[in-house]
Structure formats: C-alpha cells, structure tokens
Structure 1
Amino acid sequence: MTTLFVSHGAPTLAIEPGNTGEVLAEVAAALPRPDAILVVSAHWDTRVPTVSLANQPETIHDFAGFPPALYAKQYPAPGAPALAQQVAALLQAQDIAVQAHPQRGLDHGAWVPLMLMYPEADIPVTQLSIQSRSTPAEQFALGRALQGLHEQNVLILASGAITHNLSDFFTADRNAAPLPYVLPFADWMAERIQTQQWQHMFNYRAQCPQGMQAHPSEDHLMPLFVAAGSAIGEAIRFTPENTYGILAMDAYLWRT
C-alpha cells in the first residue's frame, strides 16, 4: 500500500467536489483496495500523538455556517481499533509517546476526502492526531515510525492543506483567481517534495518567501510532514484546482 496526502479544502468539498473530487475518486480507483485506512487529519490537534479506538466512529461536523445539506452528510465506516493499537505500538517502539481515545470520530478532514474516494464507507478507518506545537521534523519522524503499515495493506491518508491562510479569505467565489503567494508556495513545496529536500522543507518559513503567508499557523501543513516521513518511493503531484483564491488543492501520491 502507499501514502496519499490531500488538501481537503473547505468542508463544502463534500457537496461541491469539483475537479478535486474527480481526482480523488480516480486515485482511489487506481489503488489496490486497502484493508484499512489510517487518517492523519489537521483537524485533530493534540499535545501527544493520539489514536482512536472507536468501533463505529461518528461523523463529526466540526464547522458552522454552512448549507444544511452538509450537516446531513454521514460517513458510517467501521472503526479500526486493532489498527489503532498497532499504530500505538509502532510509535512506542520508536520512543514516541502516544495516547488512545476511546471514541474519537472522523472530523471533516477525514470523512470529506474519504467520502469522495470510498463512498461505500465499507473500509475500516481510524485517526491519528497531529501536533501543531511540535516541529515539522518531529512530525516527519512520526511518519517514519509508521512505514511498516504499508506491508499490512494499510493506506495512510494525510489530510491538510498546501496553503491555508483563512485571514486572506476574500470571496465566496470557488473559482476565484489565487492570491499571488498561493501558486509560488505550492510550486516551491512541490520541488522539495519531489527531490526529497526534507531539511529545506522543514525550514519552509525561513527558506520560502511565501512560507509565513501560506501558513501563519502550521496545523494544516503538519499532515504533509507525517506523509513525507511515512512515504516510500517517488511522489506524484496532482494539481486539480485552486479554490476561493487561497486554497491550493494539491495532492501527492507516493508510488514505489
């Protein structure tokens, strides 16, 4: 199995999938069917890495002010508590502290892309939290500890954003032209990923002129570092679209 990083965009992606939805569906169809999925979402942020032991994760609508149709969406996939325990063991083996949550459900960073990729909701899934207060290098090390999951036919789905500065949100037009920093940052990051310049990537705020503006807070980029650490092989970049002028919807699939 492999690692996939997705930019999950606004929650409305679930009802307005656009080109991003088409790309995610095509990627899922091209992959072997995973036995289970581990999601690393920007929307579960804890001080210590935490896995969910939920047998039947609830669909968490962790947003406000959106159309009623979005709140009606459900993703009733079975949980994967055995996978969660395996994740915990892998992290502990690398001296990474880890905790377990008995019933944490799927936030929209998880269920929105999963709904577009696997709409039948019949693959067991669990979540692992990110730590925005840590460093990119530490999140990369977290991913490294998870590499063995690929041999167990587990898909690692990291869900965040290549660009995420909501203070720059200026329009309700989904197809608005991107602000000047969006594409340069996405391209800068793509070069570092595809050439595996990890140290430059970790130091993106100092190395890239658009780094701070693209990510004034680091939570939505942390899943990318986990993905890069867990990945084996070369990265394939997908650039389906840019939304609302501020969100580059880039995705990366690593293939051996």
Structure 2
Amino acid sequence: MLPAFFIAHGSPNLAIEQHAYTEFLQRLAMSLPKPKAIVVFSAHWESAVQKISSAVEPEMMYDFSGFSEELYDINYPAKGDLPLSLHIQQLFQQEGISCELNDRRGLDHGVWAPLSIMYPKAQIPVVTLSVNPRLTAEEHYRIGAALGPLRDERVLIIGSGGTVHNLRKLDDNNPVPQLWAVEFDEWLAEQLETWNLEALIRYDERAPHAREAVPTPEHFAPLLVAMGAGDATRSAKLLHHSIQMGSLSLCCWMFGSLRIRKQET
C-alpha cells in the first residue's frame, strides 16, 4: 500500500529552483515504490462539481504570469489514464459524491511543478482532480477517503496546495519565517500528528492566525483530501518543512505507514 501525500507546490518557480525542498522531493520519489499511476488534487483546478480529468494526452497549462520565461519551456508529457479516471468516478459514485469526467483539462502548474521534480521522465500516467473551495473541511476529507482504496492498487494520491498561502503577505526581501506563519503550521502539525479531525474540521475557528494563513480555502483543501485518503491507517508524518519569502510554507505530509526518515532543513 502506498501512502498518500500532501505536497506544497509553492510558486511556479519551484520547477526551476534548487534548494532543500526540491532536493527532498527528488529523494522522496526515489524512496517510494514506482506507482502504477498518480492522482493529483490540484488547488489550481476549482469547480463546483468534483471533476476528474480523462484526457488521454493532457496538454500543458501555463496558468500564471509574471514569472520566469524559463517556465514556458518546460514540457511534462505525462499520459492520462482513462480506465483509472472511470474507476475514480465509480468510487465517488459508490460514496454518493457527485462527479464529472473532463476530457479537456490539461496539467496545471500545481500538478507539473512538483511532478517534474519527482518524476522528471513523465513516464507515469497522471489523473488530475479538482477541488471545490465551497465545500466544508469534512466534505474534503470524505472525498479523499473515497479514493483510499486506490492506495492498495499502487496509485499514488497527492494533494497539491499550500498550508500557509497568502500572496499578499509574501516578502521577497525577508527570508526570515514570520512568527504567525510558524505558529499556524505548528498548530496544524499537532492536530495532524494526533489525527485530531474534530479540530481540523474547524481549523478556521481554532487555529491561530487562520485568516492570515488561509485567506481562501482552495490551497488548504488538498491537505484535507490527502488526509482523508489515509483514513484507513490514520497515521500522519511531517517529512519536510521550510518557509520561503517569510510566509510561504513548503511542507510535505505523508499519510500512511511507509517508513521514510524526515529530512532536516
């Protein structure tokens, strides 16, 4: 059984950066058994109904502006996996979760930025899924739990987003982690490690600095989805944590029982 992961994708520049976090992602992929396929819930695909990509050859999406021109030269030609997309649709339907296939959706940077670091040869099929920021935290968890059985089928489930993700609070000139961002991530770590689902479902009320850390929920939702995918084992482990630009959290959480030593930064 593969673990499920939450992977912070940072800014689009992550794909061309070299630092402790990108090195960690490379080592993480090498430490895992090769997946049969990868399923990614991306914070950059928002929809009112749960969407499942079904394109056989998904196109690249450069869904950003104001970043390095070098990013537009990146191509991640991973194939889709229609049988897996249909299987995911069936799993959702069994749990009463409304969903739709989408054969036009390409790979946004929330998908290809981390995957181009982890699996640069793009030889593993990828199915992407949307998030609905209007759902409750409990509903996101339930969506992830519905796909938990895929872990037994060597499918790697990834939630791609960010825990502390407030673009207005970023400071390129100050690399020192801001106290409010650190305190939010520390509170979050305590709840995840003890699987305190009751507190996490109400993180917006209970977590310190929740409004600053999570001004909008789309980047936080993939964490709850990934956690839900690990519901069968209820084991959470922080594998990496660092902060860019004062408050942009770069973290990786593993939900499952595979033993991987935490990388110090």
TM-score by length of 1: 0.96
Give the deviation of 1:250 after TM superposition: 1.1
Do 1:179 and 1:246's aligned partners in 2 also have CA atoms closer than 8 Å?
Answer: yes
Give the corresponding residue for 2:170. 169
AA partner of residue 129 (structure 1): S
Do 1:6 and 1:252's aligned partners in 2 also have CA atoms closer than 8 Å?
Answer: yes
Give the corresponding residue for 1:78. 79
AA partner of residue 72 (structure 1): D
Give the deviation of 1:238 after TM superposition: 2.3
Give the corresponding residue for 1:59. 60
Give the corresponding residue for 2:98. 97
AA partner of residue 163 (structure 1): V
AA partner of residue 184 (structure 1): E
**2-side partners of 1:127 and 1:109: how far apart?**
10
**1-side partners of 2:51 and 2:225: how far apart?**
14
Mapping of residues 127-138 of structure 1, within 5 Å: 127-138=128-139
**2-side partners of 1:209 and 1:119: how far apart?**
37
**1-side partners of 2:157 and 2:225: how far apart?**
9
**1-side partners of 2:40 and 2:184: how far apart?**
25
Do 1:19 and 1:240's aligned partners in 2 also have CA atoms closer than 8 Å?
Answer: no
1:214 and 2:207 matched: no
**2-side partners of 1:97 and 1:255: how far apart?**
26
**1-side partners of 2:185 and 2:205: how far apart?**
15
Gaps of 5+ in 2: 258-265
Aligned residues: 254
Give the deviation of 1:239 after TM superposition: 2.8
Give the corresponding residue for 1:147. 148
Give the corresponding residue for 1:193. 192
Give the corresponding residue for 1:230. 229
CA RMSD of aligned residues (A): 1.1
Give the corresponding residue for 2:249. 248
Do 2:8 and 2:252's aligned partners in 1 also have CA atoms closer than 8 Å?
Answer: yes
Give the deviation of 1:96 after TM superposition: 0.5
Superposed CA offset, 1:114-171 (max 9, x none): 0111011000001011110111100000011111101111000110001011111232
Superposed CA offset, 1:150-195 (max 9, x none): 1111000110001011111232x4x711222111111111111110
TM-score by length of 2: 0.93
Give the deviation of 1:240 after TM superposition: 4.1
**2-side partners of 1:223 and 1:8: how far apart?**
11
Superposed CA offset, 1:68-106 (max 9, x none): 101111110111111111111100000110011112111
**1-side partners of 2:129 and 2:152: how far apart?**
18
Do 1:57 and 1:104's aligned partners in 2 also have CA atoms closer than 8 Å?
Answer: yes
Secondary structure in structure 2 of the residue aligned to 1:104: coil
Identity over aligned residues, as a percent?
Answer: 37
Do 2:62 and 2:108's aligned partners in 1 also have CA atoms closer than 8 Å?
Answer: yes
